Amino acid sequence: MVVNLLGFDLDGLTAFCQGLGEKRFRAVQLCRWIHQKGESDFEQMSDLAKSLRTKLAGQACVRALPLVTEQVSSDGTIKWLFDVGDGNAVETVFIPEADRGTLCVSSQAGCAVGCRFCSTGHQGFSRNLGTAEIVAQLWFAEHRLRRHLKLPLGERAVDNVVMMGMGEPLQNYAALIPALRTMLDDHAYGLSRRRVTVSTSGVVPMIDRLREDCPVALAVSLHAPNNVLRDELVPMNRKYPLADLMAACARYLDAAPRDFITFEYCMLDGVNDSPEQASELVRLVRGQGPESSVVVPCKLNLIPFNPFPASGLQRSPEHRVQAFARVLLDAGIVTTVRKTRGGDIDAACGQLAGEVLDRTDAATRMTRAPIRIQPLPAETPR
């Protein structure tokens, strides 16, 4: 069986090389070729012994996901749709800014959590992505962008990764951890822990495990200030209610690379966007409400809802978002409102893509300077 080496973190690569009778430093060399140089052809890995290159060619490969579409927004946002087999596709979004680039990565085809406002949730769950399929999104984006932007050697295109694409990353924990380690490893992408963010609907036991195993920045999708409403919007809440979630967030901060948790809050017209609910939210994070007595240092990220027909929900009007933000700001909570990005490339997609785009477009709502990228060339990208 041919193994895709994108599925290994450095420890995994070391074990694989040892299985071939090779020393650890060979794994380091391989790791650099693959992730730092974007090389997929073992023959080009000039400092590996010929005998090792031959062994690798027989047993391993470095394989990207088949690309279905690439779309470039007038504001520079880029969306890739990848085929993951059996009629499933996942999406990856690159959001350029003046001083950095953020990549929004998917962890599952579909999602089992079933949040009311999320089209991925409405699609249902197809399957977990493997580590190779998660890492392939970054590998492809990084090296494609480097080539197209003609970046000098050593300069990277992606300096932030957010696990905010399709899926609940903490329900695909076994595949997630080696993927995160590869993102962080200095021999691979070398991203700092604060530049890799896991976003979760609140899988409490896995928040604790992440804190032990690989404490990167944490974003928690809150969306409601009390259990009654959150039970409706984010079904995960029925299993892990706010008291448990807030306590897990507070524990996470002991190990977190930042001294706050980012709470995401999708603004739904007439559902969760009143000034009273904003005040309730302030009490919740201060540990002064009926739901939880734990103080959670946090930032609030308000996301205008991206509507889709089956949801039966509407986006909050701008003035309501502003009024909500004002209550939080007046209470001293750092609050940002995401701006829409890449809106012009949503409509052109097919139905599956449309559903995927509806969902991940939430992660493209930030203000950034446009960059130019050439159109997709005819040859298959490496």
Sites of contact with ligand SAH (CB under 6 A): 117-118, 164, 168, 199-201, 221, 264, 266, 303, 305-306, 358-359, 362
Nearest by Cα to 349 from 137, 119, 107, 116? 119
**CB of 111: closest distance to ligand SF4 in angstroms?**
3
* Nearer residue to ligand SAH within complex by CB, 16 or 305: 305
Enumerate the active-site residues. 91, 349
Checking DSSP bridges between strand 67-72 and strand 78-85, what pairing results, if any?
antiparallel
Q: Residue 114 touches which of ligand SF4, ligand SAH, none (CB < 5 to 8 A by kind)?
A: ligand SF4
Parallel, antiparallel, or unpaired: how do β-strands 67-72 and 298-304 relate? unpaired
305 interacts with, out of ligand SF4, ligand SAH, none, CB within 5 to 8 A per kind: ligand SAH
Q: Which of 214, 144, 140, 139 is nearest to 174 (CA)?
A: 214
In this structure, what token pair is assigned to residue 98?
Answer: 């003046």
Considering the complex, what minimum distance in angstroms separates the CB of residue 380 from ligand SAH? 29
Mind giving me the DSSP string for 176-208? HHHHHHHHH-TTTT---GGGEEEEES--HHHHH
- For the chain, the 3-state helix, strand and coil shares in percent, each to the nearest 5, are 40, 20, 40
Smallest separation (angstroms) from ligand SAH to the CB of 11: 26
Residue 71, strand partner residues: 79
Choosing from 9, 22, 168, 280, the residue that interacts with ligand SF4 (CB under 6 A) is: 168
**Beta carbon of residue 273, minimum distance to ligand SAH (angstroms, whole number):** 13
Q: Which stretch binds ligand SF4 (CB under 6 A): 113-121, 127-135, 188-196, 311-319?
A: 113-121
Q: Is 115 in the site for ligand SF4 (CB under 6 A)?
A: yes
**272 is a contact residue toward ligand SF4 (CB under 6 A):** no
Q: Which does 364 bind (CB under 5 to 8 A by kind): ligand SF4, ligand SAH, none?
A: none
Report the residue number, 111 or 141, with the smaller CB distance to ligand SF4: 111
Q: Which of 7, 167, 225, 289 binds ligand SF4 (CB under 6 A)?
A: 167
What is the DSSP pairing of strand 217-221 with strand 78-85?
unpaired
Report which of 174, 95, 73, 192 is spatially closest to residue 129, judged by C-alpha positions: 174
Asked if residues 138 and 7 have their Cβ atoms less than 8 Å apart, the reply is no
User: Which residues are near ligand SF4 by CB under 6 A?
Assistant: 111, 113-115, 118, 120-121, 167-168, 201, 221
